[in-house]
Structure 1
Amino acid sequence: MDETTASDPLEQVAALVQQGLVARLWFFPVTAEGHLRRAVRQIDGIPITPDAAASGVLRSLLERARHGDPEVVAVIERHGASRPNPDDWAWHDAIHRAARSVPVVLRGVLLAHAGGVDALEPRTLAA
């Protein structure tokens, strides 16, 4: 089976990614039972901040990443300090906006940095 069974998918993802080394996005599908599926989408070489094409690309990636599962965990990876910077928040917001138009629940957005992996807190976004 291609699923992990630890309790919290966010903790499972953090254990798999471990820390930020390069600019990359990860998308991990989560089954209806709350298990993390190992069918991961990884996108290397992302720009520092999302560009004009990011919204459409992210929607497509979220749709493909979910593999028919109801939820997805996203990870923004980059080397650097643990404190989120404006570019991290721009990616966070772009991922959330893209998820609004895809039939998937965004379980969480994590930030992988030089010191580990932390959840980015949800925040209210403008339309």
Structure 2
Amino acid sequence: MRFDDLPRDWAQRPITDPAVLEGVVDLIATDRSRVGGATYLLLCHHNRRLLQPVCLPDEPRQVDTAAVGERVSLALAEAARHGVHDVVMVIARPGRSTPTPRDRDLRAAFEAACRSAGVTLHAVAIAAPEAVGVLPSEGDSAAA
């Protein structure tokens, strides 16, 4: 889904609504972040409506998922201090939106960061130049 396919009332819906998730990610993840790499924290209200997107640019050579997880953990801890307890994460990167082993490692790092901050991770998406896709959890049998 592209951002121009979003329903008119998307801002009133939970970001995890399948009819809006990919379109919102497409709207927020810039072309530059998809080429250079970035991690987005989509901070949500308690009803999972989008509150604020936060972009953490990746170092071009950053391949250490533990370091990315540490930065995410610090940002989530600060958000939790201000009452934010729900988040959707986005991996913006070059290539195709098909999940890679690094994407799965990042998801595990996001899950650990959320647990340590007391934040609920509702979804992880991949924003690639050609498309946006949802990264299923290990226990999810859905295809990306």
TM-score of the aligned structures, taking structure 1 as reference length: 0.78
Following TM superposition, the consecutive aligned residue runs of length 4 or more in structure 1 with deviations greater than 6 angstroms are none
1:30 & 1:6 partners in 2: Cα distance?
Answer: 12
CA RMSD of aligned residues (A): 2.2
Q: Which of the numbers 58, 68, 77 marks the counterpart of 1:63?
A: 77
Unaligned runs of 5+ in 2: 1-9, 140-144
- Aligned identity (percent) is 23
Unaligned runs of 5+ in 1: none
Q: Which structure is higher in helix share?
A: 2
Q: Which has the higher contact order (CA 8 A, sep 6+)?
A: 1
Q: Which of the numbers 105, 130, 138 marks the counterpart of 1:115?
A: 130
Is the contact between residue 62 and residue 99 of structure 1 (CA under 8 Å) also seen in structure 2? yes
Q: Which of the numbers 9, 13, 18 marks the counterpart of 2:15?
A: 9
| Number of matched pairs | 119
TM-score of the aligned structures, taking structure 2 as reference length: 0.70
Instruction: Name the structure 2 match of 1:25.
Output: 39
2:72 & 2:47 partners in 1: Cα distance?
Answer: 25
